[in-house]
Amino acid sequence: HHHRGREDGCLTMTAPAIVLDCDPGIDDAFAIFCALRHTELLALTTVDGNVDVENTTRNARYLLDLAGAPSVPVHRGASRPIRSTSQHARQVHGPSGLGLVDVPDVAAPEAATSAVDALLALSERDGLMVVATGPLTNLALAIEQDRSFADRVGPVHWMGGAIDAGNVTATAEFNSWHDADAVEVCLRAGLELTTYGLDLTRQVRMGTHHTAALRRKRSRTAILAADLLDYYEAHGTQDGLGQPMHDPCAVLGVTHPQLFSYERAPIVVSTQAETRGQTTIASADDSSAGSITLARSVDADAVITEIMRAAEHPLANG
């Protein structure tokens, strides 16, 4: 955070300036609302993940327009993983990536520069934070284009990985699995990563009573959020506890770190076919391991309160 002390000694918190790299995506939509409410959102960069980059880019522009922030630039990113084939998650996020919403092509133009060029340029800015809620493809491409990027940027707060069970396979979380090679590039380059893995995000559940509460709000984003959450609930894990709100955790970890606890660990990622994307805690002397910060616990009620407020009024702040 960028604290600016005042003469009376009380700290005023200026909103952290971030770029949000995302693959909207239902939970990405909630992450975008949280970012609008609590950060200086410099840009969105989009990536192939839940659905193809054509759709994730259109969805990003639509969500910003709906939230009343059409001037936030959207930079289109990678259309496929760096070295593997792309496999989407339409069964969870719907045909367009935003449930059953028929996403219009909003007026807000796509930025002229690519996601990688935007990430490289913006990382020259002091104190820039990158939040990533999709596969790490764009970050890996930025590192391969300019090795100094990994040292300049960071920490990167990423929703990805899992220390225990996966979600797309028994062992792997989707963002890590979709582009495991990109995760390996980032770890080997020493990118400073703070990760919000499934073991963390599964503690933050929202379900039908949140949808009902959102429907009672009088804002366009609240109604859309309710529609997205309804779809997510109908197509997600049915353990009666509601759906895990993965991506907003990575944004709120930047803006509300007091709601999380963290520990550092050496992490490796598998790029072998049968365990692709599995992230495991490695031995300390494993040279291929990246030393990253793992979010381990969360005040789920407080995080859900922030997600609900951001879904209702993404542009109010404080």
- Specify the stretch interacting with ligand RIB by CB under 6 A; choose among 13-21, 36-44, 169-177, 271-279: 169-177
Q: Residue 51 or 189: which CB sits closer to ligand RIB?
A: 51
Cα distances (Å, whole numbers) of residue 254 to 17, 31, 107, 119, 210: 10, 12, 30, 18, 24
Under the criterion CB under 6 A, does residue 306 sit at the interface with ligand RIB?
Answer: no
Q: Are 54 and 152 in contact (CB under 8 A)?
A: no
- Choose the catalytic residue: 75, 93, 178, 246: 246
* Total residues at interface with ligand RIB (CB under 6 A): 16
DSSP string, 117-174: HHHHHHTTSTT-EEEE-S-SHHHHHHHHH-TTHHHHS-PEEEE---SS--SSSSS--H
Q: Are 193 and 293 in contact (CB under 8 A)?
A: yes
Under the criterion CB under 6 A, does residue 99 sit at the interface with ligand RIB?
Answer: no
Under the criterion CB under 6 A, does residue 49 sit at the interface with ligand RIB?
Answer: yes
Catalytic residue at 23?
Answer: yes
Residues 6+ apart with CB under 8 A from 130: 18, 19, 21, 119, 123, 139, 153, 154, 156, 157
SS3 of 220-266: the string is: HHHHHHHHHHHHHHHHCCCCCCCEECHHHHHHHHHHCHHHEEEEEEE
Catalytic residue at 246?
Answer: yes
Under the criterion CB under 6 A, does residue 248 sit at the interface with ligand RIB?
Answer: no
Output the smallest distance, CB 92 to Ca ion, in A. Answer: 10
Among 16, 19, 21, 23, binds ligand RIB (CB under 6 A): 23
Q: Residue 34 or 120: which CB sits closer to ligand RIB?
A: 34
Under the criterion CB under 6 A, does residue 28 sit at the interface with ligand RIB?
Answer: yes
Q: Residue 101 or 120: which CB sits closer to ligand RIB?
A: 101
Q: Residue 120 or 276: which CB sits closer to ligand RIB?
A: 276
- Specify the stretch interacting with ligand RIB by CB under 6 A; choose among 99-107, 117-125, 173-181, 231-239: 173-181
Q: Which amino acid would we find at residue 253?
A: G
- Choose the catalytic residue: 21, 23, 27, 48: 23
Under the criterion CB under 6 A, does residue 246 sit at the interface with ligand RIB?
Answer: yes
| Rounded distance between C-alpha atoms, residue 267 and residue 153, angstroms | 19
Cα distances (Å, whole numbers) of residue 174 to 67, 86, 276: 27, 12, 10
Under the criterion CB under 6 A, does residue 134 sit at the interface with ligand RIB?
Answer: yes
- Specify the stretch interacting with ligand RIB by CB under 6 A; choose among 72-80, 101-109, 172-180, 219-227: 172-180
Under the criterion CB under 6 A, does residue 167 sit at the interface with ligand RIB?
Answer: yes
Three-state DSSP at 68 gives coil
Instruction: Say if strands 193-196 and 290-298 run parallel, antiparallel, or are unpaired.
Output: parallel
Q: Which residues in the 183-212 window bind ligand RIB by CB under 6 A?
A: none
Q: Are 185 and 140 in contact (CB under 8 A)?
A: yes
Which of the listed partners (Ca ion, ligand RIB, none) does 167 bind, with a CB threshold of 5 to 8 Å by partner kind? ligand RIB
Among 21, 233, 247, 312, binds ligand RIB (CB under 6 A): 247
Q: Around 211, how many Cα atoms within 13 Å sit in the side-chain half-sphere?
A: 14
Which of the listed partners (ligand RIB, Ca ion, none) does 306 bind, with a CB threshold of 5 to 8 Å by partner kind? none
Q: Residue 94 or 266: which CB sits closer to ligand RIB?
A: 94
Give the pair of three-digit tokens for residue 236.
């997600």
Closest of 260, 211, 258 to residue 30, by C-alpha: 211
Site residues, ligand RIB (CB under 6 A): 23, 25, 27-28, 49-50, 89, 133-134, 159, 167, 173-175, 246-247
- Cite the active site residues: 23, 246
